[in-house]
Structures are given as structure tokens and as C-alpha cells.
Structure 1
Amino acid sequence: MAVMPIVQAPDARLAAVCAEVAVFDDALIALADDMLATMYAANGRGIAAPQVGVLQRVFVMDATWKEADPQPVIFVNPEIVSVSDETSTLAEGCLSISGDLIDVTRPASVVLRWRDVDGGFLEASFDGFSAACVQHEIDHLNGILITDKRA
């Protein structure tokens, strides 16, 4: 696993809509492993492929590793299936934007469907900080930054 350079705003790659992953191979596994190494080295809880210069629909997350044992998850071609009517506003940071935290209002819970690195389909519900984190990373895959979503 290698730590990759993190792309910083206003780099145009952060505004791009990423392509779906079509090939599930060793290169995808290596990318995901390198993204996890990069996220942990940067003291983050999630990082999306465009943040390391790869314009594919992949992100990794470990929302609780700072308080508990690491539980990394790799999301390939994620899609939000449903969102709650209830919203929550959290102060969010971003590894691609230096500076203060930004208050962002999002659905308080979401159901997400994605593929793993082997191409298998997964679905799960996320709430609280995890819900904000998956939505933040999906925004990256759609070329949206937290500065675009100020509360």
C-alpha cells in the first residue's frame, strides 16, 4: 500500500463527475488499498478517488477508526437508494480543502447500494456521522465540494 498525494481545491479534477467502474481487477484492489493508506495517513475518515486524481466512482471510509478498531469499507459505484426526511447539520472537513470546518445540512440517514472490489453488490443503512460521510464522498464522485453546500 502506498500513500498517494491528495488533490487540493481548486484542482479541476475535484469538479469532475467520475466514471463508473467497469473492470473489477487487481488494479482496483490496489487503488482501494492505496486510498485507505492515504486516508489513514492524512487522519481522515473517508476519501474519494478524485481526491487522489482518479476519476472513477470509488471511495473508502472508516468512520469510527479514531474511536474504535479500524473497520474500513470500500465503495465501488455507490448509489443512494433512499434518504430520510429528517436532516442533520454537521461541521464537515475535507482532505482536499484546507481550513475551517464547514456546516453542511444533509439527510440524517441514507440507504446506500454499492459494489465491492470483487463486483458483488451490497446495501446498508447509514445514520449520524456515517451518513454524512458517505454523502460527502458521493458528492466528490459527482464533482461537488462542501464549499458548494454550505448550510
Structure 2
Amino acid sequence: MAVKPIVIHPAEVLETKTKAVDCFDKKLTKLLDDMYDTMLELDGVGLAAPQIGISKRVAVVDTGEESGRIDLVNPEILEVKGSQTDIEGCLSFPALYGTVERPNYVKVKAFDKKGKPFTIEAEGFLARALLHEIDHLDGVLFISKIIQYYTEKELAEMEG
């Protein structure tokens, strides 16, 4: 396990659609484990492979809810419903936060690290985290969806 350096915007890899994984091997397992360790070390709730400079359709999410760690390999959004608006940040955009509107419900089909397909349905914060990471895999950055920007100081004042 190793903590990897985060790619900071601007970087071409962050705005490029990733390539699908076609080999489910020990290297993929190591990549997912390293991504998970990196995400935890930096206090994130999700991390996509482009954020560590790898253009593969791989992400990890763990919002600290009962779902625990979710490894997403070649995820595909099957369905979205509803709407929610909340403040998001991104490890590739240090100290930048903004209000983003996203669907409140998402149904995602993906593969685990062994190549076994699964489907996950999520609402609220977990749906937001899944959608944010899948956007990364499509080269879509949250800054393209921000309605209003916030500084760290403004966030601290809001949390009071």
C-alpha cells in the first residue's frame, strides 16, 4: 500500500475520458488499494484514477456510511432521479469549494476488483460521491457544475 501524489488542476489527465479496464489482476487490486489509502490519508470520500495520473476507468468511494468501501471498475450510470444541491470539494482542487446540483438517486453498474459485476443504488451523499467520481472518469470536473464558489474561511464560518 502506498499513498500517491494527487494530480492538481490544471492537468490534461483530469479532463480526458478514461479507458476501460480489461485486465482484472494483482496490479488492479494494488491500484485500488493505493487509491483507497491515498483517499483516506487526504480525508477524502472518493478518488478516481485520473487524480493520481492514471487514465483508467477506476474509482474508490467511502463516505463513512454503512456501505463502506466501494471499488468501482468500469462504472456505468443506469438511472438517476431527483435533485439535491450541496457543497462539494475535490482533492484535485485544494481549497476550492462550491455548490453543485446533482441527482439525489443513482443506480450504477460496475465491476469489483475481481471482475465480478454488481449494481449499487444510492441516495443523498453517497449518490453525490459516486456521481462526482464517475464524472472524473468521463473527464468532467466539478468546477463545470458549480453554482456558487466558497472559500475555506466562508465554509468554516457557515459551520460556525
Give the TM interval when normalised to the shorter protein: over 0.9
Off by >2 Å, runs of 4+ in structure 1: none
- Cross-structure match for 2:78: 81
Percent identity over the alignment is 40
Asked whether the 8 Å contact 2:90–2:96 carries over to 1, the reply is no
Trace 1:30-49 onto structure 2 (pairs within 5 A): 30-49=30-49
Give secondary structure in 1 for the equivalent of 2:54: coil
Listed one character per residue, the Cα deviations across residues 9-28 of structure 1 (whole Å, up to 9, x for unaligned) are: 00111001000000000000
Work out whether 1:71 is the aligned partner of 2:68: yes
What's the offset of the Cα at 1:72? 1.1
Query: 1-side partners of 2:107 and 2:54: how far apart?
Result: 25
What's the offset of the Cα at 1:124? 1.4
Specify which structure has the higher proportion of helix. 2
Query: 1-side partners of 2:60 and 2:137: how far apart?
Result: 12
One-letter amino acid matched to 2:108: L
Give secondary structure in 1 for the equivalent of 2:146: coil
What's the offset of the Cα at 1:101? 1.6
Structure 1 unpaired stretches of 5+: none
- Cross-structure match for 1:18: 18
One-letter amino acid matched to 1:79: E
Query: 1-side partners of 2:34 and 2:95: how far apart?
Result: 25
Asked whether the 8 Å contact 2:112–2:118 carries over to 1, the reply is yes
Give secondary structure in 2 for the equivalent of 1:91: strand
Structure whose alpha-carbon radius of gyration is higher: 2
- Aligned residue pairs total 147
Trace 1:58-137 onto structure 2 (pairs within 5 A): 58-64=58-64, 71-84=68-81, 86-137=82-133
What's the offset of the Cα at 1:100? 3.2
Task: Give the RMSD, CA atoms, in angstroms.
Answer: 1.2
What's the offset of the Cα at 1:71? 1.8
Query: 1-side partners of 2:146 and 2:36: how far apart?
Result: 27
